[in-house]
Structure 1
Amino acid sequence: MAVDGKKRQMPPGLMKIKELNKENLKTCGLQLICHVTQEFKKEQNKLRTYVTEILHSIFFLAIIHKDRLTPEDILSAQTEIVRQEFPEPFRNYKSHLPKRTPFSILLDIMQLTFGTKENIMKELCSLMKKLKFPYPLHKPANKNQRYYTLESTVICVCSNSLNTSQEYFGASLGCRTENAKSIMIYSSCINTWHEYVSYAVMSFEHQTEGDSLQFHESMQCQAYIRDWKDNIYKERQPCMNCTRLFSLPKGTEQEHYPYGNCAETECLSKLLFNDQFMLENIKIRNYTTDKMNMLKHRTRERLLGKLASIPSLSNLNKDDLWFNT
């Protein structure tokens, strides 16, 4: 709002937080890129796809950030070195949607490297301490001080108790702005998650009462939140959104997030992609192909609307956007 024809200026405290968030995103992006490229040098054949994907995701989230950060802003003097090794993300970050957030991709790398849940969580805490990402949630004394980092505060592990040898990991979205969060949820519904998980998320997004999934009783699912002070992962109950989406027990009211934000969504999607028994024994309320197509159409329209509202994507041709069919 203007006062006497002048634009109201942002209070100095908020200006400082805004600048810190910009620098945090740049710093966290660079640190994460440096880490995965160093790991790539050790295991090139295994990790090239993951590094390409994580670069793409970081570049996309940076360009849709309100400060419109480019790869050059993040990488600075290292830009050409990274571009020569991984040219694809530089070509595609403004025309192709990423499938996942950076932390989700990092979690896959950790699983490939360390294997078991215990080792993954231990090494992930060690890595977060090494990277020195700032605390991503509200500081107790200042509700505006919500630092933008690329860390997901919650991860989730699920499995089929009839087949305990395989665990599936997921991460919460870790996007600190409403636009980025919505874009990644809508894109994941269309491009990434198993269609049954996507159906449940979209039905709750577009209907007064959504259609939930009911997994076989042998499904086990446990979320963990990183205790930033002690730097360990501790068990966390599912939120009410996940209880409604996936018929999970012991839901608890927590800070409001949109349907699809939580780590349960990704790991349960992986479970359905990889476990035929779970896929064959799942129950879905009111699912039909026609309804699924309708929900995907509505979600795609919302996604395109979000993308059209972002100035840094003003020259984007929506026909160039990558959508799975």
Structure 2
Amino acid sequence: MVSLKAKRHPTELVDEVLHCIFFLGQINNPRYSPKDILSDDNMLNMLKSIYPQPFQLYSSQLPKRSPVSCVLDMIVDLTGQEKENAIIKQLQTLILQLKVDQATDLVSSTICVSQNTKIPTSVRYYGVSMSTSGSLPGRIVVAASCLSNWETYVAGAVMTYYPKKEKKTYFDGTIKLPAYVRCQALRLSDRGPMPPCRSCGNLFGLKTSEHKEWSYGNCAEVESLSNLLKSENEVREQARPTSDTYTEKNLKRARESVMKELTGLVKTVQFRWDGEFYTPQRD
């Protein structure tokens, strides 16, 4: 990330990825401090002087997403969103190198590309699967993403099933994407296409014959579609939830439920959360 930034990019993505990695080290068992993670003192001191905020707030604030999401944003920015193959190849190269280095705790296994195919030159929106290690960190970052980062409809769809993979009786925020929306996930190991899992079928109406139901919010489709709906108003309006239970009152109740779950999880990992979600510093 530091090397890529040297070419062209604002500070915030490096700042954000540092905070996220330090946070995940803080809730790991055993815990890892920034000094444990950045064992090179020169690198540690250099990063601490340029990006002081992650070192100050990793033990009190929650990240809004997982590390590889920040890396992907930087690759897309440097490469150009239209160069889909180059983006996927560059991320795959990084992931495979991390595996060679036996540094696979915080990597994503899949990438997803979404776009409005009604427009031949439409923007491509990318997302990766949750890059956390272990069940509790993943559940924490999914909840944090729902409450602070993902587009409202996408977050509502995830909250319909979060955290127990059981649909809430009082709230249905699931959506159905228009047929013209492309949403394609690929394995980062070999860039092979992956059909939507049952969870993504339930959340977004994606056609699938798969029966495997992964934890809701972990799939690359979630982040990719969140980015799409944040920018494409026509798609967003056509995909809006249609259930009678999708009301402001019930959405508020669902968010409160997720917040309660999140608060309990951070206590479980003995993290002293100040109630804030981390905002990286800008140039």
Instruction: Give the TM-score taking structure 1 as reference length.
Output: 0.77
Shift of 1:84: 0.3
C-alpha separation in 2, matches of 1:288 and 1:279: 17
**What letter is aligned with 2:134?**
T
Task: Work out whether residues 225 and 236 of structure 1, in 8 Å CA contact, stay in contact via their aligned partners in 2.
Answer: yes
Q: Percent identity?
A: 31
Shift of 1:253: 2.6
Q: Which of the residues 188, 205, 210 maps onto 1:247?
A: 205
**What letter is aligned with 1:322?**
F
Task: Work out whether residues 65 and 145 of structure 2, in 8 Å CA contact, stay in contact via their aligned partners in 1.
Answer: yes
Task: Work out whether residues 153 and 240 of structure 2, in 8 Å CA contact, stay in contact via their aligned partners in 1.
Answer: no
State the partner residue of 1:298: 257
Instruction: Give the 3-state SS of the residue equivalent to 1:245 in structure 2.
Output: helix
Superimposed CA distance per residue, residues 228-287 of structure 1 (whole angstroms, 9 cap, x where no aligned partner): xxxx31100010000010000124133x53111100000111111000111121231322
Q: Which has the higher strand share?
A: 1
State the partner residue of 2:191: 233
Task: Work out whether residues 198 and 214 of structure 2, in 8 Å CA contact, stay in contact via their aligned partners in 1.
Answer: no
Instruction: Give the TM-score taking structure 2 as reference length.
Output: 0.88
Task: Work out whether residues 133 and 149 of structure 1, in 8 Å CA contact, stay in contact via their aligned partners in 2.
Answer: no
Larger radius of gyration: 1
- Show the 5 A alignment for 1:133-152: 133=100, 148-152=104-108
Task: Work out whether residues 88 and 111 of structure 2, in 8 Å CA contact, stay in contact via their aligned partners in 1.
Answer: no
State the partner residue of 2:226: 269
State the partner residue of 1:27: none
State the partner residue of 1:30: none
Task: Work out whether residues 242 and 251 of structure 1, in 8 Å CA contact, stay in contact via their aligned partners in 2.
Answer: no
Task: Work out whether residues 95 and 322 of structure 1, in 8 Å CA contact, stay in contact via their aligned partners in 2.
Answer: no
Instruction: Give the 3-state SS of the residue equivalent to 2:182 in structure 1.
Output: strand
Q: Which has the higher helix share?
A: 1
**What letter is aligned with 2:20?**
S
**What letter is aligned with 1:125?**
Q
The structure-2 alpha-carbon separation of the partners of 1:160 and 1:241, relative to structure 1 and needing over 3 Å to count, comes to same
Flag structure 1 segments of 5+ consecutive residues without an equivalent: 1-35, 136-146
The structure-2 alpha-carbon separation of the partners of 1:150 and 1:272, relative to structure 1 and needing over 3 Å to count, comes to same
Superimposed CA distance per residue, residues 267-323 of structure 1 (whole angstroms, 9 cap, x where no aligned partner): 111111000111121231322111111000010010000001113x2xx2x444338
2:269 counterpart of 1:307: no
Task: Work out whether residues 99 and 191 of structure 1, in 8 Å CA contact, stay in contact via their aligned partners in 2.
Answer: yes
2:44 counterpart of 1:79: yes
State the partner residue of 2:180: 218
**What letter is aligned with 1:298?**
S
The structure-2 alpha-carbon separation of the partners of 1:277 and 1:66, relative to structure 1 and needing over 3 Å to count, comes to same
State the partner residue of 1:175: 132
Q: How many residue pairs end up in the alignment?
A: 267
Q: CA RMSD in A?
A: 2.0
- Show the 5 A alignment for 1:119-158: 119-133=86-100, 148-158=104-114
Instruction: Give the 3-state SS of the residue equivalent to 2:254 in structure 1.
Output: helix
2:63 counterpart of 1:98: yes
2:161 counterpart of 1:161: no
The structure-2 alpha-carbon separation of the partners of 1:290 and 1:118, relative to structure 1 and needing over 3 Å to count, comes to same
Shift of 1:113: 1.4
C-alpha separation in 2, matches of 1:208 and 1:292: 11
**What letter is aligned with 1:89?**
P
C-alpha separation in 1, matches of 2:215 and 2:198: 11
**What letter is aligned with 1:293?**
K
